[in-house]
Structure 1
Amino acid sequence: MEPTYTSGEVAKFTGVNFRTVIRWIERGELEGYKLPGRGDHRVQHSALLEFMKKNDIPVPKEWLVSKSKVLVVDDDIAMASAIARVFKRLGWEVREAHDGFEAGMLLAEFKPEIMTLDLKMPYMDGFKVLSLTREKYKMGSLKIIVISAQHINELEKALSLGANYILEKPFENDSLKKMIFECEAQ
């Protein structure tokens, strides 16, 4: 059975006053329910975990039994770090590759659930990585998010080669988070 928490327990996990938790529930921001009689509020673990991830509230380490894995592939180290930060804040285990060859080696070894992929990279571009990944590794469950500053025609070509999502650079963190949540839901 899934654990259920009181508003006071939720307040301790999130670092706020219990009245704030009650307002979250009453406004529909946090899924919860009222007990008959006294009217105390309760929140199920899965609803709290989803709320914390969605709102960038640190999740207790003991809740992260098995981390999801992401491989961030981008030759721009600052961009790769920015993408990785979004995933890390959501509790993901992150590895970075800065060219297509490194990505190929890490795909086989690391076995991520999601790979973010830039299209324009030295040695082996993102199109080649995408094609090889979909052909060679037969990783049907691997979700690929192409994050690139290339023209929309190039991004659409990536979709035709097997990308699940495309995101234009520069991007908003919330747009990336939305795609991550969609990948998790599939």
Structure 2
Amino acid sequence: MLRTLKPSEIASYCDVHHRTVSRWIASGELKGHKLPGRGNYRVQVVDFIAFLEKQGMPIPPSLSVHPRVLVVDDEVGIRSIIRRTLQRLEMDVVEAAGGFEAGMLVLQQAPDLITIDLAMPGFDGFDVIRVIRKQPEFNDVRLLVISGLPEPELEKAVALGANDYLTKPFDADMLLAKVQKLLNLRTLAR
């Protein structure tokens, strides 16, 4: 069943009055439908997201229909490669340049998967794994280590709670395959 939103919920997201949302629906700017009986409006989440995209407004993380991935690596080039690769799977990708920033973004973004470099200055990838695995609310978050460290270090990361690892330099198709497996995705990247 497709999830729907009430005008009052949409109004809260957009910081407008619920009557404004009802006018958007009535004028056709926002695709919605009237319920039988009292005539209250409902909008499918996918239609609300399309409206937000058309208006250039941010999509609240709680409404995203795509898996959300947090990419944690201190090298901007590696983050960029991972982001572009994962966007082939239509994923929402957020980036962090280090462990401390990653900690803040995990709370704000609620990612489905985190890719983690182990060798970062300060709060490294091992620290990130430890902190995430100590928090019960993140039990379902999948952790994929992407690192150039030797095999014993990668296995240590798995022992700490990472779900899998990939060695640098990595193959884009191997990254996609591991992410699809970790998130149980059925569709392949185009």
Q: Same fold (TM over 0.5)?
A: yes
The match for 2:143 is 144
Deviation of residue 141 (structure 1)? 0.8
Structure 2 residue runs of 5 or longer lacking an equivalent are 2-63, 186-190
TM normalised by structure 2 equals 0.62
Unmatched runs of 5 consecutive residues or more in structure 1: 2-64
Structure 1 position 123, deviation (Å): 1.4
SS of equivalent residue, structure 2 residue 106: helix
Q: Which amino acid aligns with 1:141?
A: D
For 1:171 and 1:69, locate their aligned partners in 2 and report how far apart those are by CA, in whole Å.
21
Cα separation, 2, equivalents of 1:128 and 1:185 = 26
Q: Equivalences for 1:15-164 in 2 at 5 Å?
A: 66-136=65-135, 138-164=137-163
Contact 2:70–2:96 (CA<8 Å) still a contact in 1? yes
Displacement, 1:163?
0.3
TM-score (norm 1): 0.64
Say which is worse superposed, 110-119 or 174-183, in terms of deviation: 174-183
Call closer, same or farther: CA 1:107–1:137 in 2, change over 3 Å. farther
Which stretches of structure 1, 4 residues or longer, exceed 3 Å deviation after superposition? none
**In structure 1, C-alpha distance between the alignment counterparts of 2:184 and 2:128, rounded to whole Å:** 25
Supply the distance in 1 between the matched residues of 2:136 and 2:115 (Cα, whole angstroms).
Answer: 16
Deviation of the 1:184 alpha carbon: 2.1
In structure 2, how many angstroms separate the alpha carbons of the residues matched to 1:139 and 1:92? 19
Shift of 1:138: 3.9
Indicate if the aligned counterparts of 2:71 and 2:83 stay in contact, CA closer than 8 A. yes
Structure 2 residue identity aligned to 1:99:
G
In structure 2, distance between residues paired with 1:165 and 1:108? 22
Q: Distance in 2 between matches of 1:92 and 1:72?
A: 12
**Distance in 2 of aligned mates of 1:100 and 1:185:** 26
One-letter amino acid matched to 1:91: E
What is the aligned-residue identity percentage?
Answer: 41
Cα RMSD for the two superposed structures = 1.5
Aligned pairs, number:
123
1: CA distance between counterparts of 2:180 and 2:161? 19
C-alpha distance 181-128 of structure 1, shift in aligned 2 (>3 A):
same
Q: For residue 156 of structure 2, give the secondary structure of its aligned residue in structure 1.
A: helix
Structure 2: how far apart are the matches of 1:127 and 1:112? 18
Equivalent-residue separation in structure 1 for 2:74 and 2:98 (angstroms): 6
| Secondary structure at 1:180 match in 2 | helix
- Is 1:175 the counterpart of 2:147? The answer is no
In structure 2, distance between residues paired with 1:137 and 1:78: 32
